[in-house]
Structure 1
Amino acid sequence: MNVVVEGGSGQILMIRRSDNDNWALPGGAIDLGESMSQAGIRETLEETGIECEITGVVGIYTDPRHIILYTSDGEARQEFSIVLTGRFLAGDPTPSSESKEVHWVEPARLGELAMHRSMRRRVDDYLTRQLTPYFD
Structure 2
Amino acid sequence: MSKHTRRIDHWQDPDAPKPTSRKASASVFVRNDEGAVLLLRRTDNDLWTIPTGGIKKGETVAQCAVRECEEETGLKVEIIGLVGIFSSPEHVIVYMHGDDVNEVRQPINVCLRARVVGGVVKPDPKEAQEVRWVAPGDLGDYSVHPALQRRIEIGLGDQEPYIE
Answering whether residue 93 of structure 2 is matched by residue 65 of structure 1, we say no
CA–CA distance in 1 between the matches of 2:81 and 2:111? 9
CA–CA distance in 2 between the matches of 1:104 and 1:113? 12
Tell me what 2:65 maps to: 40
Aligned residue identity for 1:80: I
**Greater helix percent: which structure?**
1
CA–CA distance in 1 between the matches of 2:120 and 2:131? 9
- Work out which of the two has the higher radius of gyration on C-alpha atoms and give 1 or 2: 2
CA–CA distance in 2 between the matches of 1:46 and 1:135? 27
CA–CA distance in 2 between the matches of 1:18 and 1:91? 22
Q: Could you tell me how far 1:69 is from its partner in structure 2?
A: 1.7
Q: Per the alignment, in what secondary structure is the counterpart of residue 58 of structure 1?
A: strand
Q: Could you tell me how far 1:79 is from its partner in structure 2?
A: 2.3
Tell me what 1:83 maps to: 111
Answering whether residue 140 of structure 2 is matched by residue 118 of structure 1, we say no
Q: How much identity, in percent, do the aligned residues show? A: 40
Q: Could you tell me how far 1:36 is from its partner in structure 2?
A: 0.9
Q: Per the alignment, in what secondary structure is the counterpart of residue 32 of structure 1?
A: coil
Aligned residue identity for 1:54: I
CA–CA distance in 1 between the matches of 2:113 and 2:40? 16
Q: Could you tell me how far 1:19 is from its partner in structure 2?
A: 0.6
Query: In the comparison of the two structures, how many residue pairs are matched?
Result: 135
Q: Which runs of 5+ in 2 are unaligned?
A: 1-25
Q: Per the alignment, in what secondary structure is the counterpart of residue 62 of structure 2?
A: helix
**Greater strand percent: which structure?**
2
TM-score normalized by structure 2?
0.78
CA RMSD of aligned residues (A): 1.2
Tell me what 1:93 maps to: 121
TM-score normalized by structure 1?
0.93
Q: Could you tell me how far 1:71 is from its partner in structure 2?
A: 2.1
